[in-house]
């Protein structure tokens, strides 16, 4: 039986306290949840990659990889071999620069494969994806009940981060798994980081539970799809 693999993209751009950053912490929770289901998970921290924006050089049309960015090629090859892709991203007008560069190039590579039909389906085609965004905590909100203001804020994070990532993935023929009917492009969490990169969480236990539940939804979706096939 094939061992399933997952890649989790940690998209925070805060250098301080790198391994303690919110996106890395979320990625660790995802990895632990997958491990219990015998699914391996590799965390790719974009801060460790010197990605370059696409400059339209056209080299990818010749060599089927980015001719200018070996760092991107490393990530893309890992993503191509994964059964699941997860994205943990802060909301920062709207997504971090390196994540934007990564998605831009992945989409271009996907479009390249689609144009060359003899090569078959593009890499990552059909891969299930999970998206988790997060933003600053509503400090005045009660821990017992998430306020209406906070809910509205989370929906803004969804629109600015989740929906944008999901749209890019859709163009690559990937499928973002909904959390439920309301959160159809993943989940948004009330977690933030102060200026020193220290995590500030609305309710750590509740947030971890929600991440684990979303991972469960994605894994069960995969099982259902395989059963249909």
* Predicted confidence (pLDDT) at residue 225 exceeds the cutoff of 80: no
Q: What is the pTM of this model?
A: 0.89
**Could you report the per-residue pLDDT of 111-121, keeping only the tens digit for each?**
776 655 545 44
Instruction: Count up the domains in the chain and report the number.
Output: 1
- Dihedral of alpha carbons 5, 217, 87, 228, sign: positive
What is the SS3 assignment for 115? helix
pLDDT-derived band at 93 (thresholds 50, 70, 90) equals confident
Residues 6+ apart with CB under 8 A from 189: 26, 132, 133, 134, 135, 154, 202, 207, 210, 211
Q: Rounded to whole angstroms, how far apart are CA atoms 26 and 225?
A: 26
- Residue 146: the pLDDT is 55
Q: Rounded to whole angstroms, how far apart are CA atoms 9 and 162?
A: 13
Spell 142-163 as b/e; 16+ CB within 10 A means b. Answer: eeeebeeebeebbeebbebbbb
Beta bridge partners of 88: 10, 132
132: domain CATH number? Answer: 3.40.50.360
Percent of the chain with pLDDT over 70: 83
**Could you report the per-residue pLDDT of 41-58, keeping only the tens digit for each?**
999 999 999 999 988 888
Q: What is the DSSP letter of 119?
A: G
Are 125 and 117 in contact by the 8 Å Cβ rule? The answer is no
Farthest-apart Cα atoms in the chain, separation: 57
* Predicted confidence (pLDDT) at residue 228 exceeds the cutoff of 80: no
- Residue 121: the pLDDT is 47
**Could you report the per-residue pLDDT of 17-39, keeping only the tens digit for each?**
777 788 999 999 999 999 999 99
Domain of 149? Answer: 5-228
Q: Where are the alpha helices (DSSP H) in the chain?
A: 22-35, 60-63, 70-80, 97-115, 148-157, 163-171, 204-228
Residues 6+ apart with CB under 8 A from 49: 71, 72, 74, 75, 98
């Amino acid at each position: 039986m094939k061992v399933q693999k997952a890649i989790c993209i940690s998209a925070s751009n805060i250098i301080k306290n790198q391994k303690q950053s919110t996106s890395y912490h979320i990625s660790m929770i995802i990895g632990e949840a997958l491990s219990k289901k015998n699914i391996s998970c590799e965390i790719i921290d974009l801060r460790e990659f010197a990605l370059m924006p696409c400059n339209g050089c056209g080299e990818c049309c010749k060599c089927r990889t980015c001719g200018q960015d070996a760092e991107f090629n490393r990530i893309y090859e890992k993503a191509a071999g994964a059964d699941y892709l997860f994205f943990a991203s802060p909301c920062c007008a709207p997504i971090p620069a390196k994540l934007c560069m990564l998605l831009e190039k992945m989409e271009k590579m996907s479009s390249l494969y689609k144009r060359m039909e003899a090569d078959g389906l593009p890499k990552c085609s059909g891969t299930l994806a999970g998206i988790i965004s997060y933003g600053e905590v509503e400090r005045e909100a009660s821990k017992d009940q998430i306020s209406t203001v906070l809910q509205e804020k989370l929906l803004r994070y969804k629109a600015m981060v989740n929906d944008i990532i999901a749209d890019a993935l859709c163009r690559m023929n990937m499928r973002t798994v909904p959390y439920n009917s309301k959160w159809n492009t993943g989940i948004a969490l009330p977690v933030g980081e102060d200026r020193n990169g220290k995590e500030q969480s609305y309710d750590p236990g509740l947030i971890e539970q929600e991440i684990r539940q979303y991972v469960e939804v994605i894994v069960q979706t995969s099982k259902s799809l395989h059963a249909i096939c």
